[in-house]
């Protein structure tokens, strides 16, 4: 049974930092690219960042470039999202997701291209 479990969400003040973690089990982690998505009530889930199966390629949505860093540890089957200089507009539920590395022809931010999802962790940034 595949499981993705996010952690690290919290309430922080604007300008603060958080590091989200996503622990995976039940899949051959090295065969999967990983993404972080976020969603606010009433809005669609949007891609925040992506990292390839090897960790050699990463992408970010423009609004987080220079502030967020995605990384992964294939030995521990973990993926991280380091978030700095957080702003109120970063407030959302954050989800990690996994897609097979063979899905690289699909846009990284296409939620439908991801096979497995976690339950989410809440990030709230106060002004």
In 3-state terms, what secondary structure has residue 104? coil
How far is residue 76's CA from residue 88's CA, in Å, rounded to a whole number? 32
Q: Kindly state the percentage of the chain with pLDDT values over 90.
A: 96
β-strand partners of 47: 37
Q: What is the pLDDT of residue 32?
A: 97
How far is residue 88's CA from residue 92's CA, in Å, rounded to a whole number? 9
Token pair listed for 58 = 């990463």
Q: What is the pLDDT of residues 47-97, one digit of tens each?
A: 999 999 999 999 999 999 999 999 999 999 999 999 999 999 999 999 999
Residue of 94, 87, 39 lying closest to 66 (CA atoms)? 87
Q: Is the pLDDT of residue 102 over 90?
A: no
């Amino acid at each position: 049974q595949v499981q993705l479990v996010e952690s690290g969400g919290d309430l922080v003040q604007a300008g603060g930092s958080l590091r989200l973690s996503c622990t995976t089990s039940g899949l051959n982690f090295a065969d999967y690219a990983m993404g972080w998505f976020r969603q606010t009530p009433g809005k669609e889930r949007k891609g925040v960042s992506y990292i390839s199966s090897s960790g050699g390629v990463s992408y970010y949505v423009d609004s987080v470039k220079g502030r967020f860093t995605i990384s992964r540890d294939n030995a521990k089957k973990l993926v991280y999202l380091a978030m700095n200089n957080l702003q109120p507009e970063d407030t959302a539920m954050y989800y990690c997701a996994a897609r097979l590395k063979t899905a690289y022809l699909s846009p990284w931010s296409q939620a439908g291209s991801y096979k497995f999802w976690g339950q989410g962790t809440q990030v709230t940034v106060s002004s």
